[in-house]
Amino acid sequence: MDKMRVGVIGCGNISDIYFKNLTTRFDITCVQACSDIDMERAKKSAEKYGVPQVQTVDELLVNPEVDIVLNITIPAGHYDICKKALEAGKHVYVEKPLSVTVEQAEELVAIAEEKGLYIGCAPDTFLGGGLQTCRELLDSGVIGTPVAATAFFGHHGPERFHPDPAFLYKEGAGPMLDIGPYFLTALVSMLGPAKSVCGMATSGFDKRIITFDCPKKGETFPVETPSHVTGTVTFENGAVATVMTSFDIWGHSLPFIEVYGTKGTLRMPNPDTFGGPVFLLKEGETEFTEIPVSYPYSENSRGVGLADMAACILRGTRQKASGKMALHVLEILKGILDSSKTQAYIQLKTTCEQPEAFTDKSIRL
Ligand SMILES: NC(=O)c1ccc[n+]([C@@H]2O[C@H](COP(=O)([O-])OP(=O)(O)OC[C@H]3O[C@@H](n4cnc5c(N)ncnc54)[C@H](O)[C@@H]3O)[C@@H](O)[C@H]2O)c1
């Protein structure tokens, strides 16, 4: 099989799983080069995963042996690097969020379209076995027409497990932009695009202390974006979702995502993971039944959206984890944050097509 050659920019915390999956999990990808502002990190990753070339960012962007640039730098680095990569004629796949602003994300999608290049964006967990099983159930009509949904995420902040978490409390991050993409991408992939949003937000703490056992343990940094954000999203199909994302909560007993239909309820797994469990309750029943996960990629399959994009590039077909959907999701998330400041409902300007579901249960990318 032809392999698409990936150039990885950003060899930080999340890069290990990408290197592992792109080099061993997917047949359609290999990693040709890697780069980081800190070249020592790039060298270490190259040694660990047998990557042929370690290059500066500028070198990697014009490397003729790189087909797809994978941008897994911090959110503030997403726009510049993606733009340069597209301008250099490379297809791009980027970690979420697509950019820090909707305008920048729009520009990236427009450049890709103009140049006939693919731009894809994480999260790709909606392509995991758990959420694809949910998608099949929803499409089968077993819960009838979706009327409403809930999406709840809350813990007490990434400073408990991330070695360098300050960026997660700056503009462009916070729980809604850092974790919200998993929840809203899952909902958009299930229900289709949204049309309007409103939101409210607060912060429980002005400063956070790194408690994770790492070199920066004990360091304090400021909270620069709301750390508890709630919103309501109206979808084009009429369904209404209630969303909460928080870095201020020690514990809660809320489900991750539920979709309430005219004939039943679907309880979905954590959309920040690829597996189950999936639960279904049908009209008249009093208890949920667990439904077996029936699609592949239910272990940590980060990069499956990139692998699908690579296959689509080779076949000239439509990718699933598209930049257009990521742009729409970003506008939803930003809209919730903006509405929390202006106290106004926001009509969304962007839209996207619902991604196709996997139809082949034995798919191997
Ligand atoms: N850490 C996670 O669990 C996780 C999970 C899912 C998604 N993500 C997303 O992945 C991205 C990266 O997160 P992370 O946790 O790996 O961050 P990180 O800070 O651990 O790693 C980012 C890496 O990018 C490098 N970098 C930053 N700016 C650069 C630039 N301009 N040019 C070249 N290299 C640059 C840094 O030196 C660092 O090695 C973020 O968008 C984040 O939202 C992270």
**Which tens digits make up the pLDDT trace of 187-242?**
999 999 999 999 999 999 999 999 999 999 999 999 999 999 999 999 999 999 99
Closest CA to 235 of 196, 276, 204: 196
Band of residue 360 on the pLDDT scale cut at 50, 70, 90 = confident
For 18-56, what is each residue's pLDDT tens digit?
999 999 999 999 999 999 999 999 999 999 999 999 999
With tokens 């820090």, the residue in question is 100
Same fold, 4-125+301-322 and 127-295+330-347: no
Distance 349 CA to ligand 1 centre (A): 29
User: What separation in angstroms does the CA of 226 have from each of 44, 73, 147, 245, 343?
Assistant: 35, 22, 29, 10, 15
Q: Write out the two tokens for 267.
A: 């309880």
Is the per-residue pLDDT at 1 higher than 80? Answer: no
Are 109 and 237 a contacting pair, CB within 8 Å? no
User: Where are the chain's structural domains?
Assistant: 4-125+301-322, 127-295+330-347
Which residue is closest in CA terms to ligand 1's atom 30?
37
Instruction: Find out whether the beta carbon of 72 lies less than 6 Å from any atom of ligand 1.
Output: yes
From the CA of 94, give the closest atom in ligand 1.
41
Closest CA to 72 of 253, 234, 302, 256: 302
**CATH 3.40.1260.10 is right for the domain spanning 127-295+330-347:** no
For 320-329, what is each residue's pLDDT tens digit?
999 999 999 9
User: Best substitution site from 74, 214, 216 to test ligand 1's pocket, by max atoms within 8 Å of Cβ?
Assistant: 74
Band of residue 76 on the pLDDT scale cut at 50, 70, 90 = confident
Distance 100 CA to ligand 1 centre (A): 14
From the CA of 75, give the closest atom in ligand 1.
41
- Which DSSP symbol is given to 21? I
From the CA of 77, give the closest atom in ligand 1.
31
Q: What is the distance between the alpha carbons of residues 92 and 108, in angstroms, rounded to a whole number?
A: 10
Q: Is the dihedral of CA 56, 58, 63, 66 positive or negative?
A: positive
4-125+301-322 folds as: Rossmann fold (3.40.50)
Q: Which amino acid is at 121?
A: C
User: Best substitution site from 13, 17, 54, 214 to test ligand 1's pocket, by max atoms within 8 Å of Cβ?
Assistant: 13
Flag whether the pTM goes above 0.85.
Answer: yes
